[in-house]
Amino acid sequence: MDSAFLYILGIMCIYTIIPTFVVRLFGVGVYKRGTAGRGIALTFDDGPDPQYTPLLLDMLRRKQIRATFFVLGSKAERYPELIRRMHEEGHLVGVHNYVHWANALMTPKKVRAQLDYSVQVIERIIGERPIYYRPPWGIINLFDFLLLKQFRMILWSIIVGDWRSSGGKHKIKRRLLSRLKDGAVILLHDSGETFGANEDAPTYMLEALDEFIGEALSRGYDFLRIDERMSLDQRTELVKMSLRKRAIVSLWFRWDRIIYAALRIQPIDPGNPLFYYRVCTYHGEAMELTDGEQLRKGDRILELHFNNQRLFAMAAGSRSMVHLAVQMIHSVKEMLPQINEKVCDESPQQEIKAVYGITMIHRGADQLGFTLKSLPKGWFAIATKIYLRTLLRIIHPEGKSRARSKPEALTPKMLAISVRELNKRYPAGGSVVDSVPVQPAFPLRSVLAESPK
């Protein structure tokens, strides 16, 4: 007997107790309260009721307030005119099962059947498919998490026991006002026919609600439908993300300036600071360039750096990642004669052998005369990849999705062109000789501020 009881208890824990505990306590997969602004949401369960729902709708219309109704499919079938009125007067209609049974007492198939049929009933009445769902008593089973693909599950942050008549309107109003907070989702009932409820309980709810609405409005609260409440949260989150992004970008640019100052990195053209450079010693593996020149450890190089602030501005004005890529590669092409001029200015003292950088360009660079080589495996390759992918996510709205969808494509490589080839193709003060169109393979092309050690 004891073992059977423990077995049943274990099954119930897995099937309903733990899932309900998780959503009620931690809000996993459900919406319980707004996070932005003072707007609060009135929600009503268990209706429609032929006696009380019309009175409630009359009150909401007088006060010009829109609410959310989680209706039972069986009652929607019996009182379609009330469902239609809810919709026509601007309220949101959601689902509260076909009958008021807890999901813990039904199989997943039964829950799905109740919901699907209720959705069909409501859709036939108002012409829209409801997607907001509140399980009766806020109790779910383990398989209800699968419903999140089709529904937005809504719980509450304020519940006041308005299904009982004891205490009358004063109890309900007192509890509503004492628990009222920004973003509250309030659960009330416009029917007293549910198991455990008093039939006349909605009378006191309506009286309390009438006074509560006036008090809440005087305190500066707005009343929103659930979809409006959630939309406000989403918009606010986007603004916060934008603010965070601007802060990150600002810090990133400050860090760039610190690095540039520390490494004495200067603009190629102070009047058009698109590229920066420094002359340094190459520390990487031997690299055979396109024209047969050998770049070896210890050779002097002019190391290129793309101005990330200009890159961010270009990204903000680009239509897409591909558009950004085209802009960047043409910028490189147009700047190469000036880069060669800078090499000529520096080379008599430095004996520069090549122009070098690290980039995410995998195609097209060879048409400009550059040689590409993979970074040798090690900590530097890992750090470079992290740096460039982070930069990709920061500078462009599509960067995050691009980094996720094609991570294998976003592999930084070493890029180099010998001074001899640079002189041949891009004479200082001249025009670009090679006019072959370049087709970029990937959206972000950026140069890192270090050569491999």
What kind and span of H or E run contains 276? strand 275-281
Q: Give Cβ neighbours of residue 257 (< 8 Å, ≥ 6 apart).
A: none
The encoded tokens of residue 21 equal 């505990």
Annotated active-site residue 87? The verdict is no
The encoded tokens of residue 258 equal 């610190």
Instruction: Please state, in angstroms and rounded to a whole number, the distance separating the CA atoms of residues 374 and 361.
Output: 11
The encoded tokens of residue 434 equal 């090679």
Instruction: Please state, in angstroms and rounded to a whole number, the distance separating the CA atoms of residues 356 and 258.
Output: 21
Instruction: Please state, in angstroms and rounded to a whole number, the distance separating the CA atoms of residues 344 and 364.
Output: 25
**Considering only CA atoms, which of 73, 83, 71 is closest in space to residue 47?**
71
Residue 29 falls in which region: left (phi positive, over 0), alpha (psi -120 to 50) or beta: left
| CB-CB contact of 160 with 175 (8 Å) | yes
Annotated active-site residue 189? The verdict is yes
Count CB-CB contacts under 10 A for residue 153: 21
Count CB-CB contacts under 10 A for residue 150: 13
Radius of gyration of the chain (CA): 33
| CB-CB contact of 95 with 133 (8 Å) | yes
Look up residue 261 and give its amino acid: A
CA distances from 209 to 50, 63, 175 (A): 19, 11, 11
The encoded tokens of residue 235 equal 């918009």
- The structure tokens 């070896």 sit at 296
CA distances from 65 to 131, 155, 188, 190, 205 (A): 21, 20, 15, 16, 16
Catalytic residue among 96, 189, 305, 396: 189
Instruction: Please state, in angstroms and rounded to a whole number, the distance separating the CA atoms of residues 386 and 360.
Output: 12
Catalytic residue among 45, 46, 162, 233: 45
Catalytic residue positions, numbered: 45, 189
